[in-house]
Amino acid sequence: MTNSFTPRSRFPGWRRLALLLLVAAFGGMAFAQEYHEAPMLADLVAKGQLPPVADRLPTNPLVVKTVDEIGTYGGVLRRAFTGPADMNNYVRVVYDSLVRFSSDGSEIVPHLVESWEASDDFHSWTLNLRKGAKWSDGAPFNASAMTFWYVRVILNKDLTPSVPSWFANRDGTPAKLEALDDDTVRITFDFPNTLFLTELTFRDGGDRTLAAFLPGHYLEQFHPDFVPAAELDEKVKAAGLSNWVDLFMTRAMPTENPQRPTMAAWVPFNSTVSDQVFTLRRNPYYIGVDSAGNQLPYIDEVQFRFFADVEALNFAAVAGELDFQARHIQMTNYPVLMENADRANYHVITWPSFGGSDAAVWFNQEYEIDPELGSILANHDFRVALSHAVDRDEIREAAFLGLGEIRQNVPAPWHPYYPGDEYAQKYTEYDPALANELLDGIGLKKDANGNRLLPSGKPLRLELSVVPAFGPWPDVAQLVAADWAAVGVPTDVQVRERNAHFTMRDANELQVEIWNEDTTAFPFTGNPKIDPRSDPATIFAVESRRWYATDGAQGKEPAPGIARIVDIIEEAKTVGVEQQIELAKELFRHAVDELYGFGTVGLTPMVQGVVVVNDRLMNVPPVVANDWPLRTPGDARPEQFFYKAQ
- CA separation for the pair 581, 415 (Å, rounded): 10
Tell me the pLDDT tens digit for each residue of 420-441: 999 999 999 999 999 999 999 9
Q: Does pLDDT of 479 surpass 60?
A: yes
Tell me the pLDDT tens digit for each residue of 379-388: 999 999 999 9
Cβ distance 265 to 638 under 8 Å? yes
Tell me the pLDDT tens digit for each residue of 86-124: 999 999 999 999 999 999 888 999 999 999 999 999 999
Q: What pLDDT shows up at residue 471?
A: 75
288-315 as b/e, with b when 16 or more CB fall inside 10 Å? bbbeebbbbbbbbbbbbbbbeebeebbe
Cβ distance 117 to 110 under 8 Å? no
Peptide bond into 633 cis (omega under 30): yes
Q: What pLDDT shows up at residue 32?
A: 53
Other C-beta atoms closer than 10 Å to the C-beta of 331 total 22
Question: Measured between alpha carbons, how far apart are the two ends of the chain, in Å?
Answer: 45
Give the mean model confidence (pLDDT) for residues 386-392: 99
Q: What pLDDT shows up at residue 109?
A: 96
Q: Does pLDDT of 201 surpass 80?
A: yes
Distance (Å) of CA 232 to CA 210, 218, 224, 481: 21, 14, 7, 52
Give the mean model confidence (pLDDT) for residues 499-508: 94
Residue 110 DSSP class: E
DSSP 136-176: TTSPBPSTHHHHHIIIIIIT-TTT-SS--GGGB-TTSPBPE
Task: Return the minimum-mean-pLDDT range out of 10-24, 434-448, 542-556.
Answer: 10-24
Question: pLDDT over 70 for what percent of the chain?
Answer: 95
Q: Is the dihedral of CA 72, 347, 107, 195 positive or negative?
A: positive
DSSP β-ladder status, 512-517 and 462-466? parallel
Tell me the pLDDT tens digit for each residue of 79-93: 999 999 899 999 999
Distance (Å) of CA 15 to CA 6, 9, 529: 8, 10, 29
Q: Is the pTM of this model over 0.85?
A: no
- CA separation for the pair 538, 541 (Å, rounded): 8
CATH 3.10.105.10 fits 357-602, yes or no: yes
Average pLDDT over the chain, rounded to an integer: 93
Q: Where are the beta strands (DSSP E) in 39-182?
A: 62-63, 76-81, 99-101, 108-110, 113-118, 124-129, 176-181
Cβ-proximal residues to 367 (8 Å cutoff; 6+ apart), any chain: 373, 374, 377, 378, 508, 510, 511
Give the mean model confidence (pLDDT) for residues 268-283: 98
Rg (CA), the chain: 25
Q: What pLDDT shows up at residue 303?
A: 99
Give the mean model confidence (pLDDT) for residues 625-632: 90
- CA separation for the pair 437, 456 (Å, rounded): 20
Q: How confident is the model at residue 27 (pLDDT cuts 50, 70, 90)?
A: very low
Q: Does pLDDT of 6 surpass 90?
A: no
Q: How confident is the model at residue 33 (pLDDT cuts 50, 70, 90)?
A: confident
| Per-residue 3-state assignment (H helix, E strand, C coil) for 244-301 | HHHHHHHHHCCCCCCCCCCCCCEEECCCCCCCCEEEEEECCCCCEECCCCEECCCCCE
218 closest CA partner among 318, 293, 138: 138
Give the mean model confidence (pLDDT) for residues 317-329: 97
- CA separation for the pair 401, 60 (Å, rounded): 48
- CA separation for the pair 530, 572 (Å, rounded): 14
- CA separation for the pair 100, 639 (Å, rounded): 14
Peptide bond into 297 cis (omega under 30): yes
Task: Return the minimum-mean-pLDDT range out of 165-169, 245-249, 468-472.
Answer: 468-472
Distance (Å) of CA 505 to CA 54, 86, 218, 511, 543: 50, 17, 34, 9, 11
- CA separation for the pair 170, 160 (Å, rounded): 17
Q: Is the dihedral of CA 188, 131, 64, 262 positive or negative?
A: positive
- CA separation for the pair 35, 57 (Å, rounded): 9
Tell me the pLDDT tens digit for each residue of 211-260: 999 999 999 999 999 999 999 999 999 999 999 999 999 999 999 999 99
- CA separation for the pair 507, 502 (Å, rounded): 8
Q: How confident is the model at residue 5 (pLDDT cuts 50, 70, 90)?
A: very low
- CA separation for the pair 635, 633 (Å, rounded): 5
- CA separation for the pair 235, 167 (Å, rounded): 31
Q: Which of residues 526 and 601 earns the better pLDDT score?
A: 601
Q: What pLDDT shows up at residue 22?
A: 37
Other C-beta atoms closer than 10 Å to the C-beta of 10 total 10
Cβ-proximal residues to 561 (8 Å cutoff; 6+ apart), any chain: 590, 594
491 closest CA partner among 448, 527, 452, 517: 452
Other C-beta atoms closer than 10 Å to the C-beta of 100 total 24
* Cα of 398 vs its chain's centroid, Å: 28
Give the mean model confidence (pLDDT) for residues 604-610: 89
- CA separation for the pair 592, 458 (Å, rounded): 30
- Reduced to 3 states (helix: H, G, I; strand: E, B; else coil), residue 495 is strand
Q: Does pLDDT of 171 surpass 60?
A: yes
Q: What pLDDT shows up at residue 526?
A: 81
Q: Is the dihedral of CA 288, 292, 293, 294 positive or negative?
A: negative
Q: How confident is the model at residue 26 (pLDDT cuts 50, 70, 90)?
A: very low
- CA separation for the pair 345, 615 (Å, rounded): 6
197 closest CA partner among 274, 111, 256, 135: 111
Q: What pLDDT shows up at residue 469?
A: 76
- CA separation for the pair 196, 561 (Å, rounded): 26
